Structure 1
Amino acid sequence: MREIFMTVGSRQPPWFNGLELLEDAKQNKHVLPSGCEGIDILLEGGFRIGQLTEIVGPSSSGKTQICLRSALGVADMNLGSVFFLDTCNSFSSNRIASMINQHTATSVEEDEETRVKRIMSRILCQSVYDIFELLDILRQLENRLSYQEKSNGNSIRLLIIDSIATLIAPIIGSKNSQGIHLFYYSELD
Structure 2
Amino acid sequence: MIAVRPAAPDNVLHGPKQLSQEALLAVQRSGITSARRLLCMSELELVEALDLYVSDVRAVVAAAAAVCAPPPSTAQQLMREAPLPTGLAALDGHLGGGLRPGSVTEIVGASAVGKTELCLAVAAEALVTGHARGAGVVYVDTECGFKATRLLQLVVRSLQRRGVQADPHELLYRVTVLAADEWEGYEQCLSRIRALFQDDTRLATGLLVVDSIAAPARAHFERARLSERQRLLSSHAALFKSLAEEEGLVVLVTNQDEMSACLGTSWAHCVNVRLVLHSAEQPPAAVGATLAPPRRQLRVAKANFCSAASFDLDATLEGLVQAAG
What is the CA distance between 1:184 and its match in structure 2? 7.2
Aligned residue identity for 2:203? N
Asked if 2 retains the 8 angstrom alpha-carbon contact of 1:36 and 1:69, the reply is: no
Matched, 1:14 2:66: no
Q: 1:94 to 1:161 in 2, by over 3 A?
A: same
Residue in 2 aligned with 1:180? Answer: 259
Matched, 1:48 2:97: no
Q: 1:124 to 1:144 in 2, by over 3 A?
A: closer
Secondary structure in structure 2 of the residue aligned to 1:81: strand
Q: Which runs of 5+ in 1 are unaligned?
A: 1-10
The structure in which a higher percent of residues are helix is 2
What is the CA distance between 1:15 and its match in structure 2? 5.8
Q: 1:97 to 1:109 in 2, by over 3 A?
A: same
Matched, 1:161 2:210: yes
Deviations 1:149-179 (A, max 9, x none): xx5x6322211111221111124437xx543
Which has the bigger relative contact order, CA under 8 A and spacing at least 6? 1
Partner Cα separation in structure 2 for residue 144 and residue 72 of structure 1: 21
Q: 2:83 aligns with which of 20, 31, 34?
A: 31
Q: Which runs of 5+ in 2 are unaligned?
A: 1-68, 224-255, 261-269, 273-325
Aligned residue identity for 2:258? G
Q: 1:99 aligns with which of 132, 154, 161?
A: 154
Partner Cα separation in structure 2 for residue 128 and residue 33 of structure 1: 27
Asked if 1 retains the 8 angstrom alpha-carbon contact of 2:182 and 2:219, the reply is: no
Q: Which moved more, 1:64-73 or 1:155-164?
A: 155-164
Secondary structure in structure 1 of the residue aligned to 2:158: coil
What is the CA distance between 1:37 and its match in structure 2? 2.6
Aligned residue identity for 1:169? R
Structure of greater Rg: 2
CA RMSD of aligned residues (A): 3.1
Asked if 1 retains the 8 angstrom alpha-carbon contact of 2:137 and 2:176, the reply is: yes
Matched, 1:120 2:175: no
Q: 1:47 to 1:132 in 2, by over 3 A?
A: same
Aligned residue identity for 2:72? P
Asked if 1 retains the 8 angstrom alpha-carbon contact of 2:125 and 2:155, the reply is: no
Partner Cα separation in structure 1 for residue 81 and residue 181 of structure 2: 36
Identity among equivalent positions (%) equals 23
Under a length normalisation based on structure 2, what TM-score does the superposition of the two structures give? 0.42
Q: Which moved more, 1:97-106 or 1:157-166?
A: 97-106
Aligned residue identity for 2:210? I
Q: 1:99 to 1:140 in 2, by over 3 A?
A: closer
Deviations 1:58-87 (A, max 9, x none): 223221111101111111222511111111
